[in-house]
Amino acid sequence: MPRELIFVQVGQCGNQIGMRFWDLALKEHAKAKQSLLYDESLSSFFRNVNSKNQELKIGDPIQNLKARALIVDMEEGVINQIMKSPLGELFEERQCINDVSGAGNNWAHGFYHYGNQYEKHIEERLRKTVEQCDSLQCFFMTHSIGGGTGSGLGSRILGLLEDNYPEVFRFTASVFPSGDDDVVTSPYNSLFSLYELAKHADCVFPIDNQALINIVDQIDKPNKARLVKENAHEGSVGIKITQFGEEEKRQKPFDKMNSLIAHLLSHITCSMRFEGALNVDLNEITMNLVPYPDLHFLISSMAPLYSLLDSKLQPRRLDQMFSDIYHPDFQMITGQPSLHKYLAVGLLVRGDVAFSDVNRNIKKLKDQLKMIYWNQEGFKYGICNQPPIGQQYSMLCLANNTCIKDTFQEMTDRFQKLYKRKVYVHHYKQYMEQSHFDETLNGIQNLMVKYQDLEMAQPKKYQRIQPIF
Amino acid sequence: MPREIITLQVGQCGNQIGIEFWKQLIKEHGINNEGILEEFALQGDDRKDVFFYQADDEHYIPRALLIDMEPRVINYIQTSQFSTLFNPENIFISKDGGGAGNNWACGYSQGERYQEELMEMIDREADGSDSLEGFLMLHSIAGGTGSGSGSYILERLNDRFPKKIIQTYSVFPNQNETSDVVVQPYNSLLTLRRLAQNADAVVVLDNTALNRIAVDRLKIPIPTVSQTNSLVAMVMAASTTTLRYPGYMNNDLVSILAGLVPTPRCHFLMTGYTPLTIDRHISSVRKTTVLDVMRRLLQTKNIMVSTSTKNGNYISILNIIQGDVDATQIHKSLQRIRERKLASFIEWGPTSIQVALSKKSPYIETSHKVSGLMLANHTSIHSLFDRILKQYHKLRNRNAFLDQYKKEAMFKDSLDEFDESRECLESLISEYKAAEQKNYLDWGNDDNMRIEEQQ
């Protein structure tokens, strides 16, 4: 029976990521199964309906695919764009929840005001979407935590998901603000969201814009001239997918960064949808990589990257991929994991890579990784047979590493800078109490202490009893 | 007098090995991929009914139950060339579709939840056999379904069919420095307790050794999972040849196991096979006399478990030799082995190697005259258990990853299950260590006296 995922895209950032993700998902599935039948792997993301809007079962030919998703935004611009584009056919009217004026980059506006206003509405729509699933595996939320809607309303929705469907996993891909962010109140918004994420999510994949820009630069470096002329996106797939969507003629600056995130999401779920020698489900990811329930922030890195956007470069050797993945340049969030302790590492490989390749490389690199003393062999492998688009093989590394506390520390410092002078606080006090600020600060500091403890942990040395003569 | 054996394949690993096993078996018996006897095989005198039964339409159907908590692997089997081979009533996929998520407790409770259906399937197969001998279970012990649901099924089988033999082929987690599942110490510990208490014989296999053998012996630089699985399938097929090609001795599972398992708890066996080829037409220039085969089987590098046979002693060995062999050669080989002291045995029992001769399948061409399989009970197997215990302690002392286990009913109130399993494993290790000593036969008595003193 199929195992479904429900996507929740909140806010401008979340929706733009979502767009790229659906584009990629359609291409992947078109490449994987040449027949036009609606099969189980498609049903993890899409529903099949005919012209009278009745559900079709698995094995029927594809007529109209509808995405299993909820689109939420408090201002119209982005949603209108989605519905007007060819991808708009994937969504029905009732999957979109929107308002007109937006949350004004204010977390409290999103969380309390819009949250209270739309709570029933959102629950109702959620219930409908869940009912259409046979066996729901998890909710996937994409949002940014620096803005207003994505962070505020997004956190509210996360809490709703936990209350209504506690046994279904909640994964989030959260875009953290980078050093030079364009939103002034982002320190407040991000810390509040972080607190909610720590409480309600099962697993968080933090991503930050600065790291993505670095990666895109790396890819573009040898190819800047060519890319300017061409329309470099993975259009070089055998089937013409005009039925579903065509390339956009001009790339927006954030498009490339968002497609990186889309690749990440597709990679995580590929084992659920396609066959492989060693399958890794989403619940296995939580089981193996989250030692204590609070410490569920996983640093993701992908390799090889160069041909994500341009498939004309030569593929590099397989072993190179393994050593690249531990390099900070390939991470989706800035940080130095090699200087800190790894609590657990998950490696998901796609394509024709054999088990012994993985073993061999891991043995070579193990010495360079500082694993915590009580989990020296804390690795989790997965192998999926279906390669990603445009490449023969690729690898995703999900690491639970204590370096994330440095990121938290920076966010807290920025928060403190503003909070000491109480700037902008009056905007938030319109919707909530000031004690919320202190509560959040405490919560995050406790979390950082937990990470710090683990980093400093040493195995107990037992004292030998000395005889007293 | 047919003695039927029912095979249970649980979890991803179990099903992947299982499909290779059945591939091998139908090749040996001359059955094609849909279960119909081939033209050239109509005059066989091999006993197909140990593992197959015939349906009304002349199809040979394996006596196998395919069990998994998520649909992918079984779907792969159902869409492969073997889709019509298995009886669709014997396939069980959980309705929940979520799988056990590498969580032993989740696998166990799903087994509990679906016990009605599972037992009904098993009963149906058991009733369909004239004189059921026992069960063969294929699974891994580090994951969720194979270990958790597998343990539950083991317990239920033992309750329901106490007189039937239960043999398992258990794949142990990687033994070198890296693991492929982070919480494998927890899952392995909990499963080992069930294996020690409910199974009659456990054949231990591990991925590292299988990969090593595939690379070194078969010269495949990058073995795929299906190639290493076919190694396991060859071993399984070879260990059941005496049941399927009846000869003078060892025509049922009981007689094979009786010689191998002297004390009920020391029932963890290791295997070796030689010469090894997989589907590749390499005829290696090699002498295959009985002495060569038996000598090679005793070498550590041919054994499919990552322990060294240099430390510890053999408790018992059974060699199954196939091919055209002269009985006098066997006698000479045994003598040679004894002279050169190639195997060190325990001191409290008979120190001989049992040899069984069996016929080969007439439908498969082999380039070797003689081939052999070894099933051995060796005390060094406790080093595997030591490792698992050490890793378990490291994680348990920090209470890491326990949150997911606490969500299930078994661990909601207390973690006693972990402690009980640990005690069981520790006593198993000390039993194997004691078996290396001369006074093993008195060990049980001394133990009792010591406990009384403490009280």
What per-residue confidence (pLDDT) applies to A229?
37
Listed residue (B303, B269, B279) closest to B372, CA to CA: B303
Q: Higher model confidence: residue A72 or residue B326?
A: A72
Mean of all residue pLDDT scores within chain B: 84
Q: For A45-100, what is each residue's pLDDT tens digit? A: 887 777 776 777 777 777 778 888 888 888 888 888 888 888 888 888 888 888 87
- CB-CB under 8 Å, B99 with A283: yes
pTM of the model: 0.81
Tell me how far apart the alpha carbons of residues B54 and B61 are, in angstroms, rounded to a whole number: 6
Q: What are the distances in angstroms from CA B106 to CA B101, B111, B151, B385? A: 8, 9, 12, 23
Q: What are the distances in angstroms from CA B276 to CA A92, B213, B223, B370? A: 59, 9, 14, 11
Task: Give the phi and the psi of residue A74 in degrees, each rounded to 5.
Answer: -95, 0
- Residue A270 confidence (pLDDT) above 70: yes
- CB-CB under 8 Å, A281 with B71: no
Nearest-CA distance B404 → chain A (Å)? 7
Query: Of B99, B183, B394, which is closest to A288 when you measure between CB atoms?
Result: B183
With 0-12 CB in 10 A as exposed, 13-18 as middle and 19+ as buried, what is B451? Answer: exposed
Q: For A27-48, what is each residue's pLDDT tens digit? A: 888 887 766 777 777 777 887 7
- CB-CB under 8 Å, A374 with B222: no
What per-residue confidence (pLDDT) applies to B281?
46
Calculate mean pLDDT across residues A404-418.
90
CB under 8 Å to A170, separation ≥6 — which residues?
Answer: A138, A139, A141, A158, A161, A162, A200, A201, A202, A203
Radius of gyration of chain A from Cα atoms? 22
Listed residue (B321, B329, B319) closest to B368, CA to CA: B321
Q: State how beta strands B52-54 and B4-10 pair.
A: unpaired
Calculate mean pLDDT across residues A296-309.
75
- CB-CB under 8 Å, B71 with A40: yes
Say if CB A78 and CB A12 are below 8 A apart. yes
Q: Higher model confidence: residue A209 or residue B423?
A: B423
- CB-CB under 8 Å, B215 with A356: yes
- CB-CB under 8 Å, B400 with A375: yes
What per-residue confidence (pLDDT) applies to B195?
93
Q: Higher model confidence: residue B381 or residue B41?
A: B381
Mutate to test the interface with B, among A43, A298, A355, A397 (most CBs of B within 10 A): A355
- Which percentage of chain B shows pLDDT scores above 90? 23
Q: Please tell me which residue of chain B has the smallest CA distance to A277.
A: B225
Torsion of CA A308, B182, A381, A294, to 10 degrees: -20
Do you know the residue count of chain B? 455
Nearest-CA distance A354 → chain B (Å)? 6
What per-residue confidence (pLDDT) applies to B245?
83
Q: For A166-196, what is each residue's pLDDT tens digit? A: 888 899 999 988 776 778 888 889 999 999 9
- CB-CB under 8 Å, B75 with A288: no
Listed residue (B180, B401, B178) closest to A380, CA to CA: B180
CA angle in degrees (0–180, nearest 5) for B438-B444-B450: 110
* DSSP codes of every residue in A339-353: GS-EEEEEEEEEES-
Calculate mean pLDDT across residues B66-70.
89
Helices (H), ranges, B114-270: 115-127, 150-160, 184-198, 207-216, 225-239, 241-244, 253-260
Q: State how beta strands A393-401 and A342-351 pair.
A: antiparallel
Report residue A422 as tokens. Answer: 């109480």
Say if CB A44 and CB B70 are below 8 A apart. no
CB under 8 Å to B56, separation ≥6 — which residues?
Answer: none
Task: Give the phi and the psi of residue A140 in degrees, each rounded to 5.
Answer: -120, 120
Q: Please tell me which residue of chain A has the smallest CA distance to B16.
A: A277
- Residue B242 confidence (pLDDT) above 70: yes
Say if CB A69 and CB A6 are below 8 A apart. yes
Least confident of A153-157, A160-164, A273-277: A273-277
Tell me how far apart the alpha carbons of residues B426 and B331 are, in angstroms, rounded to a whole number: 40
Q: Higher model confidence: residue B58 or residue B394?
A: B394
What one-character DSSP code corresponds to residue B56?
T
A351 interfaces chain B, CB cutoff of 8 Å: no
Give B12's contacts in chain A (Cβ within 8 Å). Answer: 278-279
Least confident of A7-21, A260-274, A311-325, B310-324: A311-325
Task: Please report which confidence band the pLDDT of residue A249 belongs to, taking 50, 70 and 90 as the band edges.
Answer: very low
Nearest-CA distance B406 → chain A (Å)? 12
Q: What is the largest CA-CA distance in chain B?
A: 71
Helices (H), ranges, A379-466: 404-420, 425-429, 435-456
Listed residue (B376, B348, B360, B347) closest to B321, CA to CA: B360
Chain centroid to CA A383: how far? 20
Complex prediction ipTM: 0.71
Nearest-CA distance A372 → chain B (Å)? 10
H or E, element range at B318: strand B314-323
- CB-CB under 8 Å, A359 with B400: no
CB under 8 Å to A218, separation ≥6 — which residues?
Answer: A305, A306, A329
Report residue B323 as tokens. Answer: 């091919």
Give A355's contacts in chain B (Cβ within 8 Å). Answer: 207, 211, 223-225, 228
Q: Please tell me which residue of chain B has the smallest CA distance to A453.
A: B398
Give B211's contacts in chain A (Cβ within 8 Å). Answer: 355-356, 359
Q: Please tell me which residue of chain A has the smallest CA distance to B404.
A: A287
Mutate to test the interface with A, among B180, B210, B306 (most CBs of A within 10 A): B180
Q: Please tell me which residue of chain A has the smallest CA distance to B145.
A: A284
Q: Higher model confidence: residue A461 or residue B335?
A: B335
CB under 8 Å to B17, separation ≥6 — which residues?
Answer: B9, B138, B169, B171, B229, B232, B233, B236
Q: Please tell me which residue of chain B has the smallest CA distance to A283.
A: B101
- CB-CB under 8 Å, A287 with B99: no
Listed residue (A213, A207, A182, A208) closest to A105, CA to CA: A182
- CB-CB under 8 Å, B224 with A277: yes
Task: Please report which confidence band the pLDDT of residue A457 belongs to, taking 50, 70 and 90 as the band edges.
Answer: confident
Listed residue (B217, B192, B200, B252) closest to B4, CA to CA: B252
* DSSP codes of every residue in A70-104: EEEESBHHHHHHHHHSGGGGGS-GGGEEE-SB--T
Say if CB A8 and CB A64 are below 8 A apart. no
Say if CB A435 and CB A320 are below 8 A apart. no
Nearest-CA distance B183 → chain A (Å)? 6
- CB-CB under 8 Å, A292 with B400: yes
What one-character DSSP code corresponds to residue A464?
P
A40 interfaces chain B, CB cutoff of 8 Å: yes
Cis peptide before A459 (omega within 30 of 0): no
Query: Of A275, A292, A374, which is closest to B397 when you measure between CB atoms?
Result: A374
What per-residue confidence (pLDDT) applies to A469?
65
What per-residue confidence (pLDDT) applies to B284?
56
H or E, element range at B67: strand B64-68
Give A288's contacts in chain B (Cβ within 8 Å). Answer: 102, 181-183, 401
Mean of all residue pLDDT scores within chain A: 80
Q: What are the distances in angstroms from CA B122 to CA A385, B132, B197, B434? A: 33, 12, 21, 38
- Residue B447 confidence (pLDDT) above 60: no
Tell me how far apart the alpha carbons of residues A292 and A288 are, in angstroms, rounded to a whole number: 11
- Which percentage of chain B shows pLDDT scores above 70? 92
Report residue B294 as tokens. Answer: 């038996």
Q: Higher model confidence: residue B452 or residue A320?
A: A320
Query: Of B103, B180, B224, which is closest to A379 when you measure between CB atoms?
Result: B180
Chain centroid to CA A75: how far? 23
- Phi-psi domain of A270 (left: phi exceeds 0; alpha: psi -120 through 50; beta: other): alpha
- CB-CB under 8 Å, A137 with B98: yes
- CB-CB under 8 Å, A375 with B180: no
What per-residue confidence (pLDDT) applies to B358?
83
Task: Give the phi and the psi of residue A349 in degrees, each rounded to 5.
Answer: -110, 140
Calculate mean pLDDT across residues B6-25.
91
Interface A-B: count of C-beta contacts within 8 A: 124
Tell me how far apart the alpha carbons of residues A205 and A458 are, in angstroms, rounded to a whole number: 28
* DSSP codes of every residue in B270-301: EEEEES---S----------HHHHHHHHTSGG
Mutate to test the interface with A, among B17, B20, B72, B390 (most CBs of A within 10 A): B72
Report residue B261 as tokens. Answer: 């398992």
What residues of chain A, 219 to 278, have a C-beta less than 8 Å from chain B?
275, 277-278
Sheet architecture: strand order including B4-10: B91-93, B64-68, B4-10, B132-140, B165-172, B201-206, B268-274, B370-378, B314-323, B353-358
Q: Which residues of A does the annotation mark as catalytic?
A: 284
Which one-letter amino acid corresponds to residue A61?
Answer: P
- Residue A246 confidence (pLDDT) above 50: no
- For residue A190, the SS3 value is helix
What per-residue confidence (pLDDT) applies to B454?
43
Tell me how far apart the alpha carbons of residues A383 and A280 are, in angstroms, rounded to a whole number: 8
Cα dihedral sign for A444, A293, B99, B179? positive
Q: For B74-128, what is each residue's pLDDT tens digit? A: 888 888 888 888 888 889 988 776 778 889 998 999 899 999 999 999 999 898 8
- Residue B426 confidence (pLDDT) above 90: yes
Mutate to test the interface with A, among B178, B186, B215 (most CBs of A within 10 A): B178
Q: For B130-155, what is each residue's pLDDT tens digit? A: 888 889 999 999 888 999 999 999 99
Calculate mean pLDDT across residues B345-362.
82
- Residue B248 confidence (pLDDT) above 50: yes
